[in-house]
């Protein structure tokens, strides 16, 4: 949050920091470029590569030594002469290749931060589908499939497989976009390795990013210009084609063979925290595409995943970094927040209005308005008195407050702020190189920052949360914001400063500009209504292009003047320039002498992990619910994610989809956008459509900017109606959502899927990111443009799949392999059910998740042309941690019979009341473990409906029709 204001606030930094002398700055770490006696060549052309020797094979892989194969080139650092390589066949489908400095001086992510699997006890060297191949001189390696040894390797670092170098810059204004050599480079401040890829292959992942190319990354073919994906976490309001809140150096390749008409998928993870550039490019005249990694530290720690399906790649990745946390059932409800609920009365009124409008509200959130002087773990005694807040939360049941990352410094001897002083006592704050406290600036003024490597940070963090809860903030979950980490100055600007001279920042008088495309507030005023006095407020001409044009960014830091190329010597393309701008100085020091430069990208992950463990202590026996802005591999074990400070624009509603699809790859499935948009003002039509869209995303929250046009769904009757309809569908589908997330937590399978995951051999689906699948069986086709009353969508399967309307159960007359135009009046989102599916549903969606769960179940069976269907459901109490007793249900239909099998220790109290089977010819007889009288059949939908059956789901049941 607050990214849009950061540019304004950052302008204050020179004034804030002016009190520091140059000598003080050098001491406390604002002078990041310390200089070096070494003259770097700044070019990799003459880098010699490495030679392999001392090879030793074992039952699980091999080890060897790599020695620099010629004179040092010292391109952007000092060449490291001796490396070690370890190759481990981790499983049938996962291969681990680790190249590191033999002296172990380079930073490696500790097991305490990301726990990795132990070495295998079974040998897979002869059976793994992945095979490690190598050349000894110069050293290069390539990964092939045992099942398809003649195919192009999945990863291939041989220079003979890559285009000839040198290759001129693909961005003429940025010399760093040249490829001078593809030799392996391993220096203390610069690492480089490249691999050939099939020409124009399909690459997904490598985020976090909002890519102008869409979910499929631009690889430099088909008119594209290629990609530079920078991994350096930063606080910024949802930019296009730039680095942003999180870093996820994992990609999924969906490789299609046009000759055979078949596709297979694989994945590559480079598990490192160093700042980096990752290039995807196809040089002019090249017959192959390529990926090149450029890192400013660390080691080369690769994991390769064989798939061969997309979902299996994602599962295999999760088996390395950890599967997602178990979600409480209430987390799937509708959440409501805004920056600007100024007091408890605002919260109470908001909840009352939602209830009066009949729009289900599960969780009320509070932003920094809650705080006293913007200080974490406090409440304003006037606007949010503890007793009133406690009473409000206990009546609503669920509340989530925000926790910002900067902890205020006490301004004088009479200032009492226990979280800060306890942290000083326990030595848990990040330091300057001289051992003094590192002090940046955030909302409360000068702040310190938690050192997540500190031995005492968990106890201090837990104490802060427990005390906060005892004050009246009886939270059910926690919202982690600004944890890249964000700072309004770019050094330790509080060191030596007068703390009392810097007041907490103020937002009084803020004016929020901007409305969605096609709404002109200078003509129609600030209401955002779709019609005023019966006249449409849509200002766009019919058929005109309404979305903002998405443009590639410029040269970036690598080609900008004023970027310090000596610290580090290679300047990654951090879109804001210097690595320390709007964040912590890169020589800020963590426990054990760890430099911020090496661990910057881990900050949000480590806060999420610490907070998760702390919440377990504060709320024992209950599943934590966390949403974090900054993430890194394995963050999904501890937290969910929201897509950051987006905009109230139609373009950003569309971009919402690729963001959710990305985070399924990253094993952070509980993800969603700020519905109706955060920055700027929304309008009625956009909010109507977005409330519908988000109802079919995992995390469903409406949130907006301070003093922007209010956008709670009750504000417009049409939005209220659309919300009621969409939320009813969402709550009906809760057992399905819950089962998908149980599968994610136990096996890593993505709950939300791109269409080609399920239909991998249909190339027309490879770029589709305006539709998505919930699981394998629910297809969502939203309206993404203003003024539309129809929407085009593709129905996968090329005519082999029967798709039925969610609302009417009617079969869609779909175009095979192309778009079908669907009616989409305002208030309606198109949702379709795949054949061969069985969905367990809540029959009576209610106001809250708990009330919904107390009602009966329904079963919806969608038969395919062969008359078969299959489905599963997972049921438990939805809250216990660790998960307690559960029950697994299996539904299978064939040859006029539906069987329900039930296994587990959890006792399901609610009955199955209605069974609907679609695709049935009119039966003469229906039995449900005996004759059934209460059934009907509808000719138009071929729907057999068996009602009022009161089936016990704790045992086996058989329904038959003939």
- Rounded Cα distance, 799 and 816, in Å: 5
DSSP 318-362: HHHH-PPPPPPGGGGS-EE--TT--SHHHHHHHHHHHHHHT----
- The sign of the torsion formed by the CA atoms of 941, 944, 945, 950 equals negative
- How far apart, in Å, are the Cα atoms of 74 and each of 274, 597, 775, 932? 19, 20, 50, 82
- First-residue to last-residue Cα distance in the chain: 59
Residue found by looking up tokens 């990041």 in the block? 32
Q: What is the rounded distance in angstroms from the CA atom of residue 371 to the CA atom of residue 445?
A: 13
How many other CB atoms sit within 10 Å of the CB of residue 58?
A: 14
> Six-digit token pair at 417?
């702020």
Produce one character per residue of 487-515: b if its CB has 16 or more CB atoms within 10 Å, e if not.
Answer: bbbbbbbbbebeeeebeebeeeeeebebb
Tally of CB atoms within 10 A around 835: 22
Q: How far from the centroid of its chain's Cα atoms is residue 780's Cα?
A: 19
Q: Of 645, 674, 684, 942, which one is the catalytic site residue?
A: 645
Tokens found for residue 333? 């409800």
Is residue 212 within 8 A of residue 218, CB to CB? The reply is yes
Verify whether residue 645 is a known catalytic residue.
Answer: yes
Specify the 3-state DSSP secondary structure of 583. Answer: coil
The secondary structure of 280-322 as a DSSP string is EE--TT-SEEEEEEEESSS-EEEEEE--SSHHHHHHHHHHHH-
For residue 81, the tally of other CB atoms under 10 A from its CB is 14
> Which helix (H) or strand (E) segment is 521 a member of?
helix 521-524
Q: Which of 208, 481, 596, 913 is catalytic?
A: 481
The counts of H helices and E strands in the chain are 17, 49
- What is the maximal distance between C-alpha atoms in the chain? 93
Task: Return all residues near 602 (Cβ < 8 A) that are at least 6 apart.
Answer: 109, 113, 273, 452, 632
CA nearest to 518, candidates 539, 548, 537, 542: 539
**Strand pairing of 626-628 and 478-480?**
parallel
Q: How far apart are the C-alpha atoms of 94 and 96, rounded to whole Å?
A: 7
The answer to whether 660 touches 641, Cβ cutoff 8 Å, is: no
Best CA proximity match to 110, nearest among 402, 552, 452: 452
Tokens of 816: 């095979």
Q: Pick the catalytic residue: 235, 484, 684, 942?
A: 484
DSSP string, 773-838: EETTTEEEE---STT-SEEEEE-TTTTSS-EEETTT-PBP-PPTTSEEEEE--TT--EEEEESSEE
CA distance 430 to 658: 35
How many residues make up the chain in this entry? 962
Extended strands (E) in 843-911: 857-862, 869-875, 887-894, 897-904
CA distances in angstroms from 405 to 1, 236, 408, 630, 672, listed in the order given: 12, 15, 10, 11, 21
> Tokens 């090329």 identify what position?
798
Q: Which of the residues are catalytic?
A: 481, 484, 645
């Amino acid at each position: 949050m607050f990214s849009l204001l950061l540019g304004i606030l950052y302008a204050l930094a020179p004034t804030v920091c002016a009190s520091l002398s140059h000598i003080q700055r050098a001491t406390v770490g604002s002078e990041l470029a310390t200089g070096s006696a070494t003259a770097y060549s700044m070019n990799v052309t003459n880098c010699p590569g490495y030679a392999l020797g001392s090879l030793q094979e074992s039952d699980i892989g091999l080890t060897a030594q790599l020695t620099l194969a010629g004179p040092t080139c010292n391109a952007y650092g000092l060449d490291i002469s001796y490396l070690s390589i370890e190759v481990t066949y981790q499983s049938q489908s996962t291969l681990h290749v680790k190249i590191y400095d033999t002296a172990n001086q380079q930073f490696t992510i500790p097991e305490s931060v990301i726990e990795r699997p132990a070495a295998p006890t079974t040998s897979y060297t002869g059976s793994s589908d992945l095979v490690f191949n190598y050349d000894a001189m110069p050293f290069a390696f390539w990964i092939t499939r045992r099942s398809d040894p003649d195919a192009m390797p999945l990863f291939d670092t041989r220079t003979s497989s890559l285009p000839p170098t040198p290759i001129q810059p693909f961005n003429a204004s940025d010399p760093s976009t040249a490829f001078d050599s593809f030799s392996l480079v391993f220096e203390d401040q610069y690492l480089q390795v490249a691999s050939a890829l099939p020409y124009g292959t399909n690459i997904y992942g490598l985020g976090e990013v909002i890519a102008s190319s869409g979910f499929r990354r631009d690889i430099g073919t088909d008119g594209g210009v290629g990609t530079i994906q920078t991994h350096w976490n930063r606080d910024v309001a949802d930019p296009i084609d730039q680095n942003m809140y999180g870093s996820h150096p994992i990609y999924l390749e969906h490789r299609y063979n046009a000759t055979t008409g078949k596709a297979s998928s694989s994945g590559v993870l480079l598990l490192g925290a160093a700042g980096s550039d990752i290039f995807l490019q196809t040089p002019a005249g090249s017959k192959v595409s390529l990926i090149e990694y450029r890192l400013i530290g660390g080691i080369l720690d690769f994991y390769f995943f064989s798939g061969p399906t997309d979902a299996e790649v994602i599962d295999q990745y999760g088996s390395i970094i950890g599967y997602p946390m178990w979600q409480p059932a209430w987390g799937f409800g509708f959440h409501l927040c805004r920056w600007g609920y100024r007091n408890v009365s605002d919260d109470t009124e908001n909840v009352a209005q939602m209830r009066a409008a009949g729009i289900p509200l599960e969780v009320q959130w509070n932003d920094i308005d809650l705080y006293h002087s913007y200080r974490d773990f406090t409440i304003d005694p006037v606007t949010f008195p503890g007793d009133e807040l406690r009473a409000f939360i206990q009546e609503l049941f669920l509340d989530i407050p925000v926790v910002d990352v900067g902890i205020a410094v006490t301004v004088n001897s009479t200032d009492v702020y226990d979280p800060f002083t306890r942290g000083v006592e326990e030595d848990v704050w990040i330091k300057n190189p001289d051992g003094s406290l590192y002090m940046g600036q955030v909302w409360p003024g000068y702040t310190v920052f938690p050192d997540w490597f500190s031995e005492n940070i968990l106890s201090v963090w837990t104490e802060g949360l427990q005390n906060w809860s005892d004050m009246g903030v009886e939270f059910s979950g926690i919202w982690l914001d600004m944890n890249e980490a964000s700072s309004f100055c770019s050094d330790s600007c509080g060191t030596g400063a007068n703390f009392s001279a810097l007041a907490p920042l103020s937002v009084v008088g803020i004016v929020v500009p901007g409305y969605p495309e096609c709404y002109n507030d200078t003509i129609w005023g600030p209401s955002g209504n779709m019609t005023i006095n019966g006249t449409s407020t849509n200002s766009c001409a019919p058929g005109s292009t309404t979305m903002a044009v998405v443009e590639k960014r410029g040269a970036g830091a690598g080609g900008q003047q004023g970027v310090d190329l000596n610290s580090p010597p290679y300047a990654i393309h951090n879109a804001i320039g210097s690595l320390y701008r709007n964040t912590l100085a890169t020589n800020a020091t963590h426990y054990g002498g760890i430099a911020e430069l090496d661990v910057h990208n881990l900050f949000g992950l480590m806060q999420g992990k610490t907070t998760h463990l702390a919440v377990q202590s504060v709320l024992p026996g209950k599943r934590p619910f966390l949403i974090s802005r900054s993430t890194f591999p394995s963050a999904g074990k501890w937290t969910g994610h929201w897509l950051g400070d987006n905009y109230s624009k139609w373009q950003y509603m569309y971009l919402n989809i690729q963001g959710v699809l990305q985070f399924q790859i990253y094993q952070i499935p509980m993800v969603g956008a700020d519905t109706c948009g955060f920055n700027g003002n929304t309008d009625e039509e956009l909010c109507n459509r977005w409330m519908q869209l988000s109802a079919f995303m995992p995390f469903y929250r409406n949130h907006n900017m301070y003093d922007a046009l209010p956008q709670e769904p009750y504000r417009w009757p049409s939005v209220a109606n659309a919300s009621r309809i969409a939320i009813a569908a969402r709550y009906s589908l809760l057992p399905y959502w819950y089962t998908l997330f149980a599968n994610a937590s136990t096996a890593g399978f993505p709950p939300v899927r791109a269409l080609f995951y399920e239909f991998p051999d249909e190339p027309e689906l490879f770029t589709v990111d305006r539709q998505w699948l919930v699981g394998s069986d629910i297809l969502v086709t939203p309206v993404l443009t203003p003024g539309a009353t129809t929407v085009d969508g593709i129905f996968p399967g090329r005519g082999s799949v029967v798709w039925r309307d969610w609302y009417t159960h009617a079969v869609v007359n779909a175009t095979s392999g192309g778009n079908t135009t669907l009616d989409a009046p305002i208030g309606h989102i198109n949702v379709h059910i795949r054949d061969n599916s069985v969905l367990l549903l809540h029959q009576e969606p209610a106001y809250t998740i708990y009330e919904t769960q107390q009602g009966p179940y329904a079963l919806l069976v969608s038969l395919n042309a062969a008359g078969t269907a299959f489905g599963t459901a997972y049921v438990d109490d939805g809250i216990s941690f660790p998960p307690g007793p559960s029950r697994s249900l299996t539904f299978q239909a064939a040859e006029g019979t539906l069987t329900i099998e039930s296994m587990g220790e959890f006792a399901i109290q609610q009955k199955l009341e209605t069974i609907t089977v679609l695709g049935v010819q009119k039966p003469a007889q229906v039995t449900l473990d005996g004759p059934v009288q209460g059934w009907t059949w509808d000719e138009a939908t071929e729907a057999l409906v068996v009602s009022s059956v009161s089936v016990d789901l704790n045992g086996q049941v058989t329904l038959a029709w003939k």
